[in-house]
């Protein structure tokens, strides 16, 4: 079997950049049959310490403080963009213009317009793209998709999704770039609801109408110096600055009138300030023949209730195992769980297969546009207290089309 060695460039060596680097390294270990062995060519970060970490620990061959050098490097074939939101559009467009396949974290742009700019640049250049919607990848979620697609749950009637976290529940949490519109765009809408919108698209079908309400729970936070620490940091005292984007958003949704989810309705919510949930990212799907629910906090488990022989059966746990998505690439049997970083390895696999010429099966920049349209429309609906129609997005990999 011949082996291909795509050269990898990494932009930003923070936590997510390190996760991407690890995912690339694990591809030949967990997917030897692909014949793909990524080569970690170069990394870029404005922090000298992070740049050195890229070479000394992550084993990149070189590092720089200028991301443009990554894009100019002829040995770099694919680029991971893991920088803060306000740099995504600039870097994504530049990567596509340089002819580099790009794997970009979400939200791809601060706005729909920025996300479309990246999509247009990638389409014009003909490069493969991937977006960090990793909650598609748990084997339990992949099994849920199969149950929906093959009609096991019947006609889908309603959906309930809630991505609740407490990472900003403490008002002493630092006022990082995530809380500023110019740097982050939206708040929890882009950060978590964007994930949830894509998951609904992937499992059921495209959202075509939305109404919403949002709120800022903590109006101000202690100012943190740019480039130091994260929004997880707690600052006692200190000068306060205003929070400029939403802490919570909730939406009513309608699914387009086609496919297995035709005309389904539901609710999706996201919060970054909920006391109690750590990363309670859950979705519930209800159909005429049964229902299923999944929560990231119990990632390897699906709860399933089916209508059988005229009797309604209560929820029973179904544990992910071989035959569920990519599970067998990571663990030998049910009961031995996978983790968050494994989801990014699956994401890297789908990206590299697309780069290698296969039909895309993972989320692309077009799926990011579709998600961004839901986020933008929900914020518009919340501001104006009305329903907003959402136009369909072409070339997505998400919605079921049967």
String of DSSP letters for 272-299 = S--SS-SEEEEEEEEETTEEEEEEGGGT
Mean pLDDT of the chain: 94
Q: Is 348 helix (H, G, I), strand (E, B) or coil?
A: helix
Q: For residue 301, what is the DSSP state? A: E
Report pLDDT for 229: 56
Q: What is the mean pLDDT of residues 132-148?
A: 97
Q: Are residues 286 and 218 in the same domain?
A: yes
Residue 38 has pLDDT above 70, yes or no: yes
Residue 400 in any domain: the answer is no
- Of all residues in the chain, the percent with pLDDT exceeding 70 is 96
Residue 397 has pLDDT above 80, yes or no: yes
Report pTM.
0.95
| Angle, helix 365-384 to helix 112-125, in steps of 10 degrees | 160
Structural domain for 47, as ranges:
7-134
CA pair distance 90, 96, nearest whole angstrom: 10
Encode pLDDT of 281-312 as tens digits: 999 999 999 999 999 999 999 999 998 755 65
> What CATH number corresponds to the domain at position 206?
3.30.360.10
> What CATH number corresponds to the domain at position 52?
3.40.50.720
CA pair distance 142, 147, nearest whole angstrom: 9
Report pLDDT for 230: 63
Residue 398 has pLDDT above 50, yes or no: yes
Q: Are residues 111 and 148 in the same domain?
A: no
Residue 228 has pLDDT above 80, yes or no: no
pLDDT band at 224 (very low <50, low <70, confident <90, very high): confident
In which region does residue 288 sit, left (phi positive, over 0), alpha (psi from -120 to 50) or beta (all else)?
A: alpha
pLDDT band at 39 (very low <50, low <70, confident <90, very high): very high
Encode pLDDT of 235-274 as tens digits: 888 899 999 999 999 999 999 987 788 999 999 999 999 9
Q: Are residues 66 and 165 in the same domain?
A: no
Residue 343 in any domain: the answer is no
Q: Are residues 11 and 85 in the same domain?
A: yes
Helix (H) or strand (E) holding 349: helix 340-355
Q: Are residues 55 and 99 in the same domain?
A: yes
Residue 142 in any domain: the answer is yes
Residue 234 in any domain: the answer is yes
Report pLDDT for 95: 98
Q: Are residues 109 and 195 in the same domain?
A: no
Q: Are residues 258 and 247 in the same domain?
A: yes
For the chain, how many structural domains are there in total? 2
Q: Are residues 154 and 255 in the same domain?
A: yes
Q: Are residues 74 and 163 in the same domain?
A: no
Report pLDDT for 1: 59
Residue in the block written with tokens 């400029």:
244
Q: Are residues 12 and 150 in the same domain?
A: no
Q: Among residues 134, 166, 181, which one ends one of the domains?
A: 134
Q: Are residues 51 and 63 in the same domain?
A: yes
Q: Which residue has the higher pLDDT, 259 or 40?
A: 40
Residue 350 in any domain: the answer is no
Q: What is the mean pLDDT of residues 54-76?
A: 98
Report pLDDT for 234: 85
Residue 259 in any domain: the answer is yes
Residue 402 has pLDDT above 50, yes or no: no
Sign of CA dihedral 144, 146, 152, 157: positive
Report pLDDT for 238: 80
Report pLDDT for 226: 55
Contact (Cβ atoms closer than 8 angstroms) between residue 28 and residue 35: no
Encode pLDDT of 352-377 as tens digits: 999 999 999 999 999 999 999 999 99
Report pLDDT for 379: 98
Where does residue 130 rank: exposed (0-12), middle (13-18), buried (19+ CB within 10 A)? buried
Residue 357 in any domain: the answer is no
Q: Are residues 18 and 58 in the same domain?
A: yes
Encode pLDDT of 92-109 as tens digits: 999 999 999 999 999 999
Residues 6+ apart with CB under 8 A from 8: 21, 24, 38, 39, 40, 41, 76, 77, 78, 79, 80
């Amino acid at each position: 079997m011949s082996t291909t060695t795509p050269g990898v460039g990494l932009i930003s060596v923070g936590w997510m950049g390190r996760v991407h680097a690890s995912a690339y390294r694990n591809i030949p270990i967990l997917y030897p049959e692909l014949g793909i062995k990524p080569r970690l060519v170069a990394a870029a970060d404005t922090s000298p310490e992070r740049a050195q970490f890229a070479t000394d620990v992550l084993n990149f061959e070189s590092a720089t403080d200028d991301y443009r050098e990554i894009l100019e490097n002829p040995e770099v074939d694919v680029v991971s963009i893991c920088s803060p939101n306000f740099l995504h559009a600039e870097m994504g467009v530049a990567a596509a213009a340089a002819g580099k396949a790009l794997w970009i974290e979400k939200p791809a742009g601060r706005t729909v317009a920025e996300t479309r700019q990246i999509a247009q640049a990638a389409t014009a250049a003909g490069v493969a793209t991937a977006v960090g919607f990793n909650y598609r990848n748990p084997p339990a979620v992949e099994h849920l998709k199969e149950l929906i697609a093959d009609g096991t749950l019947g006609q889908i009637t309603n959906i309930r999704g809630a991505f609740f976290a407490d990472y900003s529940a403490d008002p002493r949490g630092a006022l990082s770039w995530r809380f500023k519109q110019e740097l982050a765009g939206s708040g929890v809408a882009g950060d978590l609801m964007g994930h949830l919108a894509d998951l609904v698209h992937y499992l059921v079908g495209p959202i075509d109408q939305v109404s919403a309400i949002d709120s800022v729970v903590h109006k101000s936070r202690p100012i943190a110096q740019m480039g130091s620490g994260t929004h997880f940091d707690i600052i006692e005292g200190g000068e306060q600055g205003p929070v400029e984007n939403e802490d919570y958003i909730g939406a009513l949704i309608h699914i387009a009138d086609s496919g297995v989810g035709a005309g389904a309705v539901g609710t999706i919510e996201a919060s970054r300030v909920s006391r109690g949930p750590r990363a309670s990212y859950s979705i519930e799907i209800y159909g005429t023949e049964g229902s299923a629910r999944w929560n990231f906090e119990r990632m390897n488990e699906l709860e399933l209730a089916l209508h059988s022989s005229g009797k309604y059966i209560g929820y029973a746990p179904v544990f992910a195992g071989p035959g569920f998505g990519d599970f067998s690439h990571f663990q030998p049997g049910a009961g031995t769980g996978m983790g968050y970083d494994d989801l990014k390895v699956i994401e890297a696999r789908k990206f590299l297969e697309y780069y290698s010429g296969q039909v895309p099966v993972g989320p692309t920049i077009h799926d990011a546009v579709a998600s961004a349209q839901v986020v933008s429309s929900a914020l518009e609906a919340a501001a104006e207290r009305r329903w907003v129609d959402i136009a369909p997005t072409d070339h997505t990999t998400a919605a079921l089309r049967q």
